[in-house]
Structure 1
Amino acid sequence: MKVIGLIASPRGEKSNTLRLVDAVLAGVNDEGGKTELVDIYSRDIKYCTGCLTCYATGDCPLIDDFPDIFDRMAYADGIVFGAPNYINSVPAPMKALFDRLSDAIHCQTLTGKFGCSVCTAGGSGESEVIGYMNNVLATLGVTVVGGVGTAVGRDASALGKAEEDSRELGKRLARSIRGEIAYPEQDEAHRQRREYFGQMIKNHRESFAHQYDWYVGMGWLKEEEE
């Protein structure tokens, strides 16, 4: 079992959000899993230009660290997003990462994986940011097992409780990966999402050539005769 944590905080080792991500990964370790942490702020992630090359070929013309980060996500069984609240959203480096995932969303490349999110805020908004990050996971085909957030500006002591909750979240993530917890409603939502994107890709078969081939190869679309 392999779980990757992606942390987007400019505060480095002083980050409160990092403490929550570390706690989730510790919970995975408690259950016998292996973990990896990637600091998004230390990586080069260029902005998506909307060229749509990835739809046609599966490759992005931008040269940066995105392919390495995505490969690590693709080979993991679980994904943890961690970000502080920046105006009820995530910091720019993580948003840049999300924007580069369009092809993966269409292809539902991360289907079968499990994930969760954690967030720290000053006064409020942590729930909104967790909801946003977990929605990104779900849109990618990932089954969401939960989230933990806390507003340290309201109560500095709340961070310790959030760390405990995050460790338990990590254990739930590991147990979900092992198949010990079922998510039938999300399974159905994933199926419907694949059908939606599959129909869209079929309608744009020529310009979405890579994605069409992916869906046919996965058995999600029947190849049409020329």
Structure 2
Amino acid sequence: MKVLGINASPRGNESNTLQLVKSVIKGAESEGADVELIDLYKLQIEYCTGCGACYATGECPQIDDFEELFDRIVNSDGIVFGAPNYINSVPAPMKAFFDRLSDVVHCQMLAGKFGCSVSTAGGNKADVVVDYMNSVLTNMGVNVVGGLGVVMGGDPAAPQQAAGTAEELGKNLVKSIRGEITYPDQEELHRQNTEYFCQLVKSNKEKFAHDYDWYVRMGLIK
């Protein structure tokens, strides 16, 4: 069982968000998961150009670290996103990474995986960022087990004070992977999304050749 934490903060070891991500994966590790932590700022992720090559061929012409990172996600059972609040959204490297995942959304490639998100904010709306990152997970077919937003409010100890809650989030992530916690409402949403994208690619099977072949291989298009 593998849980992958992805932190998008430019502050390195001084990152408050990093402390939360570490607490989540510590909780996951205590439940028996193998864990890995990635600093997104140490990777090169180029911007999506909207060329549509991923829909047509399944490959992106950009030469960077995206494919390696995505392979790690594919080989994980649980995903933890972490990002500070940058004007009610995520920092640029995380957004660039998300924008490169459109083919993953089309194909619902991460169906069957579980995830959660954490964020810190200086003043407010950390929860807004958590909700956004969790929505990205949902859009890719992931079952979301929860999230945690921490407002610093001038208190440098805030992440430590939230560590116990973050660890519980990590434990619930692993329990969900093991099937001890289920999400029937989300599963129904994923079913509806898969049905929608099946129809979309069937109607555009020449333009979305890779996506069409994906659903054929999955047995969802006969």
| Pairwise TM-score range, normalised by the shorter structure | over 0.9
| 1:46-57 superposed matches below 5 A | 46-57=46-57
Classify the secondary structure of the residue corresponding to 1:4: strand
Deviations 1:78-127 (A, max 9, x none): 00000000000000000000000000000001000000000000000101
* SS of corresponding position for 1:219: coil
Which residue of structure 2 lines up, in the alignment, with residue 106 of structure 1?
Answer: 106
> Cα RMSD between the aligned structures?
0.8
Tell me the residue number matched to 1:12. Answer: 12
Query: What is the alpha-carbon distance in structure 2 between the residues aligned to residue 66 and residue 27 of structure 1?
Result: 27
Partner of 1:23: 23
Tell me the equivalent position of 1:158. Answer: 158
d(CA) in 2 for partners of 1:187, 1:18: 30
1:56-84 deviations in whole A, cap 9, x for unaligned?
10000000000000000011000000000
Cα offset, 1:155, TM superposition: 4.1
What is the CA distance between 1:160 and its match in structure 2?
2.1
Letter in structure 2 aligned against 1:42: K
Percent identity, aligned pairs only?
Answer: 61
Aligned equivalent of 1:196: 196
User: Which runs of no fewer than 5 residues in structure 2 stay unpaired?
Assistant: none
Q: Offset at 1:158?
A: 2.9
Which residue pairs with 2:167 in the alignment? 167
Q: Which amino acid aligns with 1:203?
A: S
Task: Kindly report structure 1 stretches of 4+ aligned residues shifted beyond 6 Å.
Answer: none
2:19–2:160 contact (8 Å) kept in structure 1 = no
- Report the TM-score when normalising by structure 2: 0.98
TM-score when scaled to structure 1?
Answer: 0.97
In 1, the alpha carbon distance for the partners of 2:94 and 2:184 equals 29
In the alignment of these two chains, the number of paired residues is 222
Unpaired segments ≥5 residues, structure 1: none
Give distance in 1, aligned partners of 2:64 and 2:6: 17
Given that residues 46 and 62 in structure 1 are in contact (C-alpha distance below 8 angstroms), is that contact kept between their aligned partners in structure 2?
Answer: yes
CA distance in 2 between counterparts of 1:141 and 1:72 reads 17
Name the SS of the counterpart of 2:6 in structure 1. Answer: strand
1:219 aligns with 2:216: no
Give the Å deviation of 1:162: 1.6
Secondary structure of 1:111's counterpart equals coil
Cα distance in structure 1, aligned partners of 2:63 and 2:159:
38
Letter in 1 for 2:213: D
Is the CA contact (8 Å cut-off) linking 1:143 and 1:183 kept in structure 2?
yes
Q: Is the 8 A contact 1:149 1:162 kept in 2?
A: no
The residue that corresponds to 2:139 in the other structure is 139
In structure 2, what is the Cα distance between the partners aligned to 1:10 and 1:197? 35
2:94 matches 1:94: yes
Distance (Å, rounded) in 1 between the aligned partners of 2:154 and 2:121 = 9
Q: Which SS does the other structure have where 1:63 is aligned?
A: coil
